[in-house]
Chain A
Amino acid sequence: MSDDVILQASGILKRYPGNIALDHVDFKLHRNAVNVLIGENGAGKSTLMRILSGVESCDEGTILLDGKPIVLRSPRDAGAHGISIVHQELSVMPNLDISENIFAGRELTRAAMVDRKTEDTQSADALHRLHKPMPVNAQTAHLSLGCRQIVELARTIAHGSKILILDEPTSALSMAEAESLFEVIDDLKRSGVTIVYISHRLHELLHLGDYFTVLRSGRVVGEAPRSKVTRQWIVERMSGRADTTDLQVRPAASTQAVLSVHHLELGSSAAGEESQAALHEISFTLHKGEVLGIYGLLGAGRTELLETLAGNRTRLGGSIQLEGRTLELNSVGSAVKAGIVLVPEDRQRDGLIPELSIRENVALAASHGPLLSRAHETELVRKLAKDLNIAANDLELPVTSLSGGNQQKVLIARCLMRNPRVLLLDEPTRGVDAGAKAEIYRILRQLAANGLSILFTSSEIEETRTLADRALVLCQGRIAAEFQHHQLTDEALFAAASPNVTTGSIA
């Protein structure tokens, strides 16, 4: 082990029920450098970082810090070793103010009392180093996403960390905010901090990174210093194939409009735990039998758009028409009644009811009349399960006995029970293995061929390219570009999804 390496993780294995998140991963951190970790969703980046920051423990493997083995059982342990992390999902305590958040868990005390004065001064210093002065006594519930991120960064700076892990730090930031973050990262690097940087944004990585590691499906598939890395190198290793063209022939989509959205507007909010990105001037048309993809980075407003169409968020303005009829869409019920159904992004939280069986989960939303007809229901569910190839010996088994891919098919089946006109899918293959992914794509294409109109969002380029007939790119709540299938390339999607300076602040 050379002096250049500050931290070395070897043979890290992490199993979750049903899949292996990290399969004997070796990962080196180079001292005073920006160590970039790349991979698609589900590749294991965040899991690896949660292990290095003590949030989760690995099943096997060792971690050496400066050549000495360390054990990280809690975030506190990691903090004691000088490792801190800014999580992808912002984790501020909304009821505390900025200074209180920065020192939560590591309060400064004088005579057993919290030393507010010193805390406030040091918080202000940390914010100053981030070039982002804010009133340290403002409640964080009132802050924009970008500002909350700054608070989390300030937390690690105030604690003088040796190793700083940034998990998609710019996903919620405007370009201007991101630029100032890059300056801070340079500053920190010079002052002796080792950075781990995770992002989907290739141009950022190429701009910032000193050493690159690529993860795919829980394995390290590439490692190189900046001098040997090109955009091409990254994309090849991330997607696992050199040839990125899809030769699948598609029928020309019909021109019959099914869903038309005009000038849709959604307000942003950052109050409480559920924050919402704003949407501006969203207009598009979905045709009969078409698969329309919406690509965008985290925080671009993908989920917000789908949930607005599904009646789960109240829009500020704009009109939505289904087959020429204007819809109010003020509740999920009204959307379902009109024929718009959504397969949500987070299966476990918003989709499945784990206590119920596969049959009951599928039939959940489809009650005919006041009484349940078991025989009728069983027959319908059995037919759908066959159509969608749900791999289950018995539909009465708990839904949790299924793999991720089959659980996803259960949710698609539930939506189909309502005979929808429009099927919305938010990240249709999140947490689904490669085989099931291909199958879900095939099923969705088949449904579209039968005349169903499908609108899906994705943060994966590959998925957008494979599945969509046509794709819209969402960037900071606006439609930034539209591509026909033959125009879909990695470069074009990346470029369109990345915010540029002219779009201003997100606050």
Chain B
Amino acid sequence: MTSISATLSSSDRLASSGARIALILLRARAVLVLVLLLILFSALAPSFLTGANLSILTKHVAISAILAIGMTFVILSGGIDLSVGSVAGLGGMVAGYILTQGITLGGTTYHPGVFVAILATIALCLVVGALNGWLVSRAGVAPFIATLGTLYIARGSALLMSNGKTFPNLAAHAPSFAFIGQGFLLRIPIPVWLMFALFAVAAFIAAKTPFGRHVYAIGGNERAARLAGIVVPRVKMYTFLFSAFCAGLVGLIIASQLEAAHPATGESFELNAIAAVVLGGTSLMGGRGSVTGSLIGAFVIGVLADGLVMLGVSEFWQIVIKGVVIVLAVAIDQLQSRLQAKFLPLLLRSNPEAGA
């Protein structure tokens, strides 16, 4: 190794430090993009950087951020969860049904409180998550197909619950239900608290617990993870349960914000969540990425949407621009992997300990 280091030419050294900087910039690209967008929109739209607007913005972001946080573990382990939007819709309908129609057991109809309605909603969403987990880890169905199936199953079930109608006026049945979506704590909206709480928990799990490491290990090399004694099916099951939990929470938040449960709620939300995760630098192949990245990715999408609205850009152009940003993000991701592979020898040479 020493002989190679000694023969390392000065141009190699330069290329090496250049590559290093390029890689650091690429890795931090989500933050860079977010900062750039914030600067751009503040300059173009004076009312953008005001407390009121940022509060509304964050509340919007919370919805896709919570889904993205749940989605992150699934994607890190090499899977995908397409069902989250439908599960959110189903969750809202379950809560709406229980609050407006009550639960009929043996001829008697009970009208449980908000707390029970929330627990029942989450429980049902976890059942869908468990179905996803079972299909993927035990029945061997590819995650894309399995969750595409449960996407339809959950959406259909949501429509069946009300025959396609909306459960209106939830506040009249249970005034305290509004708190989850509309309430404030220390002048910060409850959905934002929920987002940060979930983020803190998820980031902790990912970075500090054996479970988090198992998720990364499976995404990196599933076979090796199995040979190392990691119980792969169980880990995958938990990732889908967590994703479904987050989806259920989003369903509750939206139903609470609208004070109504609509069966079409959450359509295409799964795509927003996946976009946020990918923008945050998580590889769809699994094994690489972070929960923090997904949160930032959700903010990028939120800021972009909000800013374009304030600039008066047409809604249709907004959709096009969002698509461009997502494609660019993945293209840059590929560029990063290629650069990394290309400059790896250089990076290793200047760091002899790592490669010897």
**How far apart are A200's CB and chain B's nearest CB, in angstroms?**
22
Q: A96, A109, A507 — which one has the most chain B CB atoms within 10 A of its CB? A: A96
Q: With A75-B227, A104-B213, A135-B354 known to touch, is A142 a contact of B208 (CB < 8 Å)?
A: no
Residue of B nearest to A272 (CB): B341
Q: Is the interface of A mostly helix, strand, loop or mixed?
A: loop
Q: Which residues of A contact B229 (CB under 8 A)?
A: 74-76, 79, 104-106
Interface flags for B318-356 (1: CB within 8 Å of A; 0: not) read: 000000000000000000000011001101100001111
**How far apart are B296's CB and chain A's nearest CB, in angstroms?**
20
16 contacts between A and B (CB under 8 A): A75-B228, A79-B229, A93-B217, A93-B220, A93-B228, A95-B220, A96-B220, A101-B228, A104-B214, A107-B213, A112-B209, A114-B213, A139-B354, A142-B355, A147-B355, A147-B356
Task: Tell me the residues in window 267-291 of chain A with beta carbons closer than 8 Å to chain B beta carbons.
Answer: 267, 269, 271-273
Is A143 an interface position by the 8 A CB rule?
yes
**How far apart are A429's CB and chain B's nearest CB, in angstroms?**
26
Give the A-B pair count, Cβ closer than 8 A: 104
Is B226 an interface position by the 8 A CB rule?
yes
**How far apart are A449's CB and chain B's nearest CB, in angstroms?**
43
The answer to whether A94 touches B208 (Cβ under 8 A) is no
Q: With A105-B214, A507-B355 known to touch, is A91 a contact of B220 (CB < 8 Å)?
A: no
**Which 6 residue pairs across A and B have the least CB separation, nearest first?**
A91-B224, A107-B210, A95-B220, A105-B229, A93-B220, A105-B228
The answer to whether A55 touches B220 (Cβ under 8 A) is no
Q: Which residues of A contact B231 (CB under 8 A)?
A: 74, 76
Q: Which residues of B contact A95 (CB under 8 A)?
A: 216, 219-221, 287-288
A interface, how many residues as a size bin?
A: 35 or more
CA distance A76 to B223 in the complex (A): 14
Q: A142, A144, A505 — which one has the most chain B CB atoms within 10 A of its CB? A: A142
Is A397 an interface position by the 8 A CB rule?
no
Is A100 an interface position by the 8 A CB rule?
yes
CA distance A273 to B224 in the complex (A): 11
Q: Which residues of A contact B347 (CB under 8 A)?
A: 142
Is B52 an interface position by the 8 A CB rule?
no
**How far apart are B212's CB and chain A's nearest CB, in angstroms?**
8
Residue of A nearest to B340 (CB): A271
Residue of B nearest to A140 (CB): B220
CA distance A271 to B347 in the complex (A): 13
B interface, how many residues as a size bin?
A: 20 to 34
Partner of B208, one of A55, A91, A113: A113
Q: Is the interface of B mostly helix, strand, loop or mixed?
A: helix
Interface flags for B270-305 (1: CB within 8 Å of A; 0: not) read: 000000000000000001100000000000000000
Is B230 an interface position by the 8 A CB rule?
yes
The answer to whether B227 touches A87 (Cβ under 8 A) is yes
Q: A76, A96, A100, A105 — which one has the most chain B CB atoms within 10 A of its CB? A: A105
**How far apart are B3's CB and chain A's nearest CB, in angstroms?**
10
Task: Tell me the residues in window 130-162 of chain A with beta carbons closer than 8 Å to chain B beta carbons.
Answer: 134-135, 138-139, 142-144, 147, 155
Is A13 an interface position by the 8 A CB rule?
no
**How far apart are A114's CB and chain B's nearest CB, in angstroms?**
6
Is B1 an interface position by the 8 A CB rule?
yes
The answer to whether B213 touches A100 (Cβ under 8 A) is yes
Q: Which residues of A contact B159 (CB under 8 A)?
A: none
Is A92 an interface position by the 8 A CB rule?
yes
Is B124 an interface position by the 8 A CB rule?
no
Interface flags for B131-162 (1: CB within 8 Å of A; 0: not) read: 00000000000000000000000000000000
Task: Tell me the residues in window 241-295 of chain A with beta carbons closer than 8 Å to chain B beta carbons.
Answer: 267, 269, 271-273
